[in-house]
Chain A
């Protein structure tokens, strides 16, 4: 919403400087988007009188002037302009002034022995054009000492505010002025109430065929008008706020659209077919060529204004080209209607038409204003275009808008936290146009002004579907009881200034707060930290990616494909964060960084339900480990990814002994170099492995790449229980090594598990310390060397006991895996 300062002052009697007006607009919720003030840079320049002009004693091309800047003292000015002469009026800059055209700040000086105490300005020096042929030469009657910009009419800044969706009334200069007046910045000037003489019956009559199209409409014709370009003041006004002047009749409607927030439309009576304008819903197949030159295919949900031949206007949104007014119009018919805000919003959105009329109707216009607005428009059109007015044609009934609201003064503190005197609160409401109906020490009841459809409007509940009826009813009653009052509290606090409400720290239940994170949430934070501490960089990736890429990683159900993606490569909710991370790794490789370790704690999407969104700790490693003298660089491998996944599981309290590996990892992994970490047969805790060469190639990843995903939702909540007493046996453990020869298909885990299980009381720990497969072994065989720790508890082990335990272990491993002890 744009307006000029002078336009505002036509509605607001105020002496407040612009800065105060802007600050107040910001405070009361009419946020200033920008101010264009051409005159600001020239504000200090005054109209001056050149009293004397003589040749400079020491310079041929200069003159020495005596200039009166308005305060009676004569200033000595050295000037090079050829047109400088005694008796002329010009514009003077005094020392300290910034000269826009030259970029310097003026100082007193002396030029070749003559003092120069000021400067006479050219148009170029003022930044007002290229003319530098001489100093500005003003007419004789220019007032001495007056501000130049004020005299030249350039002191009219254009203010742009953003109006929030609830404030249809502030989409008008009059409404803005009313708010400013309420905030103490001046007095709202009442609107003119012209008396229109109706001298003939209206040539057109209204008919409301369908109340959905319109509730209430009035109109009036003026015959004998001379349409043409608007007077300059009106054109200037419209141009200043970014509108294009069309012709006087149309410009007047725009004047009131912006001045009063009251959109109007004008029909050329001669172009209307038939004598009736009907408000109805559009029919299938009808279309409208609108004033913007575009053709719109109308739907039965659009309200239109039609004549005998069809729609002439998309009511409340945009007029039709056919019956619009032009230079040849001699009889005009002014439409002033009330449309349903919701229908206007939906129609406007359906056809993607953004007009000033729509913006106002969809927020709601003043339902009590039509008659007055019609008179004002008639009056202004007659002033400009002449002609005589017809009687007013009416259809429908004005809607009932009258309602009251009550404010208990205590609620200003109870809800708003501000102690406001009752008189102050009532004063603000009255200045906003609320009329006091009743008042006592505790409360005031006010009539809501018709232009504030956002106050005590009621309705609009859309309660949760599953709410218990009792609870729903109580909640609805509660809302009805407090909402109008909250509306009034907001008005008082808004106008008074929210900065004046004292800030109070939130009271806390106890000085030591309870944990902010649930156990589940804390796990996620810990998982991220564990991975970062393992050298991985925590990333944040988009949750969607290209469907084709997503398909490399799993299912891509249509239910997870965006209907309106912002880009073709961001259209599918990702099946796993591993996908985003591998894309990131490829980008890094393309920049010359092929060795990365990236992790993300993010979502994987299985279906659109809340349960279909999984919380995953994922990571990828690509390339090689760093080069170092003490440790050779090597390619990353599946064991690195397994190590990452196990580290997360261990940190989150998963008992490692309960975790097993199966080889059925998802298809984006190398089928022979990947696994699934499970707890029991059903629960999948994690997947890990080398990335399938086909997937890596599709993502342009050249080097080795491994990844993992840990499903945090699958990890059971750790039980908070006290730890048992530690196991601290009095006897030294005995360590024994065994080397087994097994078939290549036998898993190390099977060997370790069998060894551990051979004597659970005695064998405390088993670790694999060597794995060998090579030409010293029979074809298809692998050597696995393990160390078992035997922990005696009763007495030191005898050699015989150790031998017996070893034999038991070898037998158990042999039985479970077919292993033989290596010679």
Chain B
């Protein structure tokens, strides 16, 4: 490479290093690759170079151009970072100061999300029936999410679940985002002796996203294991809950035979409503609302419970679904969008939590 290019490279590097702020840096930039910058000048002069040298010199100039542009850009990034560092340092405050005695903006704007509210309500109602709340993690083993619940690998139900998978761990098995709250059934049975009476409200996940499906949603699971618990108790428990939750003392409730791998007998539960108006309790139409059944003997056995001594029931329902029905909310998607306007409209008063004495 010719000497003049070497010189330009060296001088530009020095000038960039000397540029202490963005203003100085910009001067270097303009002076080098600006309209009348030195490099730009050399490029313009290429035409005057004898033809036999032109190719070689052109290539060298282009290499230098790329090099200088990169150096100029790198210096800008460094200067901006330094400027930001300086700004952050100058903005340092004493964070040990006591905060103000009251929240900014006042309290009235706050509120409880309808999903949180529904969970509080159903906890109050099932709590009155002697249930306690059990929990489990969102990331589960496939044994807890499927196998324990009598859904082996090849079971058609596995396909219906649209499962999200995480990379396989050390055991070679892929953890899943739980597709239902049912793995907490297994966790509970393995973690305590019967009698068991738990509900499990929580996040659940399925790879499905449209107007009526969200990839994350909420379910509440119920599990009762005891001596002498029958399908009659399952019906009574659900009827009691549904009528209390919706506040309709004579809400029609219908039970249909169905199938779930983890219950036997299984049933789907419908409530009476008016399909046209959405009004619950009357109208002669039926709306499917939850699935339930007597816990399958294989599920009990998988979790170490002797089905000759203990039996019980389980159910699961969608929290968004019952929330939408209760409040006449037409659309699922806004639940997760955190739109201020929607939240303000539907949020519940934090100072009036559901209580059986004041009404849920």
Contact = CB atoms under 8 A, between A and B. Distances in A.
A and B together in one complex: yes
A639 B97 contact: yes
Nearest to B155: A165
B167 interface: yes
A31 interface: yes
B137 A613 contact: yes
Contacts of B203: 543, 603
A542 B266 CA distance: 31
A534 B103 contact: yes
A78 B7 CA distance: 109
Given A493-B231, A506-B224, A581 B107 contact: no
B132 interface: yes
Interface in A755-785: 767-768, 771
Interface string A662-693: 01000000111111000000000000110001
B339 interface: yes
A513 B128 contact: yes
A528 B112 contact: yes
A733 interface: no
B165 A562 contact: yes
A300 to B, nearest CB: 17
Interface size class of A (residues with CB under 8 A): 35 or more
B132 A464 contact: no
A199 interface: no
Interface stretch (B33-41, B50-58, B253-261, B277-285): B253-261
Interface string B120-140: 100110111111110111110
Label chain A's interface by main secondary structure.
Answer: mixed
Interface string A545-569: 0000000000000111111111100
B92 interface: yes
B156 A475 contact: no
Q: Which of B104, B124, B147, B164 has its CB near the most chain A CB atoms (within 10 A)?
A: B104
Contacts of A584: 337-338
B330 interface: no
Interface residues of B, number: 126
A501 B92 CA distance: 71
A538 B347 contact: yes
Q: Which of A475, A539, A675 has its CB near the most chain B CB atoms (within 10 A)?
A: A475
A543 B150 CA distance: 28
Contact of B297 (A483, A540, A543, A625): A483
Contacts of B267: 498
Contacts, number: 396
Interface stretch (A277-285, A323-331, A517-525): A517-525
A503 B236 contact: yes
B350 interface: yes
B76 to A, nearest CB: 15
Interface string A199-214: 0000000000000000
A502 interface: yes
A819 interface: no
B110 A541 contact: no
A747 interface: yes
A798 interface: no
Contacts of B143: 462, 464-465
A533 B152 contact: no
A387 interface: no
Interface string A455-479: 0000011111101100110111111
B338 to A, nearest CB: 3
A498 B254 CA distance: 9
Interface in B94-125: 94-100, 103-113, 115-116, 120, 123-124
B256 A498 contact: yes
Interface string B277-297: 000000000000000001011
Interface of B: 84, 87-89, 91-100, 103-113, 115-116, 120, 123-124, 126-133, 135-139, 143, 147-148, 150, 152-157, 159, 164-167, 169, 174-175, 177, 186, 190, 197, 199, 203, 205, 207-209, 215-216, 218, 224, 228, 230-237, 239-240, 254-259, 261, 264-268, 294, 296-298, 300-309, 311, 335-341, 343-344, 347, 350-351, 353
> When A and B form their complex, which 3 residue pairs have the shortest distance between CB atoms, in order from nearest?
A417-B232, A516-B127, A672-B92
Interface of A: 26-29, 31, 164-167, 341-342, 345-346, 349, 362-363, 413-418, 460-465, 467-468, 471-472, 474-479, 481-483, 486-487, 489-490, 493-494, 498-499, 501-509, 513-518, 521, 525, 528-544, 558-567, 570, 573, 580-581, 584, 587-588, 591, 593, 595-598, 601, 603, 605, 608-610, 612-613, 621, 625-626, 634, 636, 638-640, 642-644, 646-647, 661, 663, 670-675, 688-689, 693-694, 747-750, 752, 767-768, 771
19 contacts: A165-B156, A413-B230, A417-B232, A483-B307, A498-B235, A504-B233, A529-B351, A532-B110, A535-B107, A538-B343, A540-B336, A598-B338, A605-B138, A609-B137, A640-B100, A642-B99, A646-B99, A663-B95, A768-B98
